[in-house]
A and B are shown apart, each in its own frame.
Chain A
């Protein structure tokens, strides 16, 4: 996994290509051989990420927001990191958040994790049909959500639930969506976790991967068309970058200089497929350079780095400099979904071997190091959130469950296909006797 060939701390000499990766073209007999990428580990192996090139925190310079993409190429190959191994915030990218903001971020991340844990267990107990956790990736949605403004439109995948916590979505409403019960704002039509929330600009999640990435660009284009200073932020996973919609998004964002932030959450795995199948042996961020988009690779488990890069991109978009492409380098600590067993395709200890640690632990360490947090406070908050999630779950099921109801009346299935119900749907509804 040669994911970083360039020093993280330089802009100068960015256009020089490191020849090391380009040699080896001498003929040695047969020339054509199908190359099939390998995984970081497979069951039975010992996970080892020691070959990952992780630059130290604080060494990456922070460019001006009007920087040209090709003048800051090293950002696409490096890794913006603020928090060092001791929890100290270092370098130009430190967003200088105050202790209250940091504690708020920590609380949101812990809240997401408590929610995920409860919902995962409820699925295992047969109370939910399906669930997807974001364990290990909490800093991304939470820090990015906090760095954006309320009028900015979010186009998430199914693994950015942290955005909802930042925007204040009641946990009760999220649970009711997952239960498809009588209080589900999506009226029982969507799989669990495919949330949507118009009032707070959280776009409807689709099961079709990457479709929202290029839609977000259109949303941003409309904002610019109307002369508003809102931006759109979209997310896609490492695997889904292979979809054509991502290519469209990058091109349209660049062509029209749309006020958008295009994020790739590189959590190393697309169900059972390693990121190497989509990354083509380089970084995902590097892909943005071909579109002349400023492209930044960020330590996705570093709350401060994620916040800073997002804020930089948002400031840039709002100032009319156009789109930014961000790769958030992280690790999917758990299975893809409740329908997945990662022990079938990767080593059991891979998550423990991941060198960028856990986002919650790292921010906790930072706050403690600042003297603004303690283990006792942390444990108390963990317990408080666990209890509040449990209480909310008890309330949520009083509005119904998938198997036992109550749900929305079945007649509502025919509504919202169109704004007004056409005759053929009225007829089908009548035929059903509802």
Chain B
């Protein structure tokens, strides 16, 4: 075991898979010689060469397309989109091609591409360095969508994604690249560096965390909190501050969704609060509300609450009014508890 930040854990996942399989290569803007603007691919160019840590032109559509073709020809490309906010020029290639190739070809062709993209806010990133577009991708059949919340999961999930024969969209919350984040105005009695956090202990070798499996971060009996990414830590702080005995579930994989873990928890607590940074309307939270309502209707003691980003573009000056902070989370938990 070693102490790793999320960046180091991601780097280690790439290193492990590249070492084991010469068909694994990384590609994207600035990922090669320079090692990536967030350092996630640092040292891979020097260790594996320019063709396996491949710098690309600035063309997300071209990068995804090239990766699809490489995947068809037997490689396992791990594409980096520098910010999730810039994934849209590659959207047609992801939705119309990558996601559907296996189905439309009757199972004859597939392309095992992993698309990594730093996502989320809380970093003064403004409109185009803060977005959480996961709900756009969970709507696309044929894709798997993953978002880790800590170094241990990030490495295990990324290795699983790379070795998976289906295309995986792998969102990395950049706010927690260097340490957990509990909210802008939270003075929680918790670790603020990964080295002081239990999930900062990461095996140096190869291991996997299965896709499609949620993690119960904290057991509780009063409310089920469903969340993922940075908001796992913000929710944890809110629970600690409020003293509410909430069960905190980190979904880890959004699609396919671990409905078993979710329904077992909500059927136990009878209450559910869903938290994500992404905007509210048609966000992934809406899908979670619908699933919980269908599966747990007769167990519910209160309406399901959602705490999300507002339905506005991500603002620069109003970062902490936009970001779902602990006060909004605690209010939602209290409303849910008082509902009956």
Q: Do chains A and B stick together as partners?
A: yes
A274 at the interface (CB under 8 A from B): no
Task: Check B92 against A211 for contact (C-beta < 8 Å).
Answer: yes
Chain B's nearest CB lies how many Å from the CB of A78? 29
Q: A187-B106, A255-B57 are in contact. Are A225 and B51 (CB under 8 A)?
A: yes
Q: Which A residues lie within 8 Å of B66 (CB)? A: 214-215, 217-218, 221, 248, 252
Most buried by A among B61, B92, B105: B105
Q: In the complex, which residue of chain B has the Cβ closest to the Cβ of A194?
A: B104
Alpha-carbon separation in the docked complex, A245 to B66 (Å): 10
Across the interface, B106 reaches (CB within 8 A) one of A153, A196, A208, namely A196
Q: A416-B103, A417-B103 are in contact. Are A245 and B61 (CB under 8 A)?
A: yes
Task: Check A215 against B65 for contact (C-beta < 8 Å).
Answer: yes
Q: In the complex, which residue of chain B has the Cβ closest to the Cβ of A225?
A: B51
Name 12 A/B residue pairs within 8 A (Cβ), A-sorted: A184-B106, A186-B104, A186-B105, A190-B104, A217-B65, A219-B72, A222-B70, A255-B57, A415-B107, A418-B142, A418-B144, A423-B259
Chain A's nearest CB lies how many Å from the CB of B161? 13
Q: Which A residues lie within 8 Å of B77 (CB)? A: 218
Q: Which A residues lie within 8 Å of B73 (CB)? A: 153, 218-219, 222-223, 226
B68 at the interface (CB under 8 A from A): yes
Alpha-carbon separation in the docked complex, A245 to B93 (Å): 9
Alpha-carbon separation in the docked complex, A206 to B100 (Å): 9
Q: Which residues, 401 to 434 on A, are CB-close (under 8 Å) to B?
A: 415-419, 422-424
Q: Which of A128-136, A197-205, A343-351 contacts B (4 or more CB under 8 A)?
A: A197-205
Q: A206-B97, A252-B62 are in contact. Are A189 and B103 (CB under 8 A)?
A: yes
Q: In the complex, which residue of chain B has the Cβ closest to the Cβ of A219?
A: B69
Task: Check A214 against B74 for contact (C-beta < 8 Å).
Answer: no
Across the interface, A244 reaches (CB within 8 A) one of B61, B106, B165, namely B61
Q: A208-B97, A255-B57 are in contact. Are A198 and B65 (CB under 8 A)?
A: no
| A to B contact number (C-beta, < 8 Å) | 146
Alpha-carbon separation in the docked complex, A252 to B93 (Å): 15
Q: Which residues, 344 to 377 on A, are CB-close (under 8 Å) to B?
A: none
A265 at the interface (CB under 8 A from B): no
Chain B's nearest CB lies how many Å from the CB of A431? 12
Alpha-carbon separation in the docked complex, A189 to B107 (Å): 11
| Beyond known contacts A207-B96, A218-B65, A424-B259: 16 more, CB 8 A cutoff | A155-B69, A186-B104, A194-B104, A198-B105, A203-B72, A215-B97, A218-B66, A222-B74, A225-B70, A244-B89, A248-B61, A248-B66, A416-B103, A417-B102, A417-B141, A423-B256
Alpha-carbon separation in the docked complex, A207 to B107 (Å): 17
Interface residues of B (CB under 8 A from A): 25, 51, 56-57, 59, 61-62, 65-75, 77, 89, 92-93, 96-97, 100-110, 141-142, 144, 164-166, 212, 256-257, 259
Q: Which A residues lie within 8 Å of B259 (CB)? A: 423-424
A249 at the interface (CB under 8 A from B): yes
Interface residues of A (CB under 8 A from B): 153, 155, 184-187, 189-190, 194, 196-198, 203-204, 206-208, 211, 214-223, 225-226, 232, 244-245, 247-249, 251-252, 255, 415-419, 422-424
Q: Which A residues lie within 8 Å of B96 (CB)? A: 206-208, 211
Q: Which B residues lie within 8 Å of A245 (CB)? A: 61-62, 65, 93
Across the interface, B65 reaches (CB within 8 A) one of A186, A232, A248, A417, namely A248
Q: Which 9 residue pairs are nearest across A and B when measured between Cβ atoms? A: A218-B69, A248-B62, A218-B66, A214-B65, A222-B73, A219-B69, A198-B108, A204-B105, A422-B256
Across the interface, A251 reaches (CB within 8 A) one of B62, B92, B166, B256, namely B62
Most buried by B among A204, A251, A255: A204
Alpha-carbon separation in the docked complex, A335 to B70 (Å): 35
Chain B's nearest CB lies how many Å from the CB of A420? 8
Chain B's nearest CB lies how many Å from the CB of A430? 14
Q: A185-B108, A197-B108 are in contact. Are A424 and B59 (CB under 8 A)?
A: no
Q: Which A residues lie within 8 Å of B257 (CB)? A: 424
Q: Which A residues lie within 8 Å of B108 (CB)? A: 185, 196-198, 204
Q: Which A residues lie within 8 Å of B89 (CB)? A: 244
Chain A's nearest CB lies how many Å from the CB of B162? 14
Task: Check A214 against B61 for contact (C-beta < 8 Å).
Answer: yes
Most buried by A among B62, B92, B166: B62
Task: Check A189 against B104 for contact (C-beta < 8 Å).
Answer: yes
Alpha-carbon separation in the docked complex, A416 to B142 (Å): 8
Q: In the complex, which residue of chain B has the Cβ closest to the Cβ of A214?
A: B65
Q: Which A residues lie within 8 Å of B109 (CB)? A: 196, 198, 203-204
Alpha-carbon separation in the docked complex, A148 to B57 (Å): 29
Task: Check A251 against B57 for contact (C-beta < 8 Å).
Answer: yes
Alpha-carbon separation in the docked complex, A424 to B67 (Å): 28
Most buried by B among A252, A416, A422, A424: A416
Chain B's nearest CB lies how many Å from the CB of A131? 19
Chain B's nearest CB lies how many Å from the CB of A318? 16
Across the interface, A186 reaches (CB within 8 A) one of B106, B110, B256, namely B106
Alpha-carbon separation in the docked complex, A248 to B90 (Å): 11
Q: In the complex, which residue of chain B has the Cβ closest to the Cβ of A185?
A: B106
Task: Check B256 against A204 for contact (C-beta < 8 Å).
Answer: no
Q: Which A residues lie within 8 Å of B59 (CB)? A: 247-248, 251-252
Task: Check B69 against A417 for contact (C-beta < 8 Å).
Answer: no
Alpha-carbon separation in the docked complex, A196 to B109 (Å): 9
Q: In the complex, which residue of chain A has the Cβ closest to the Cβ of B68?
A: A215
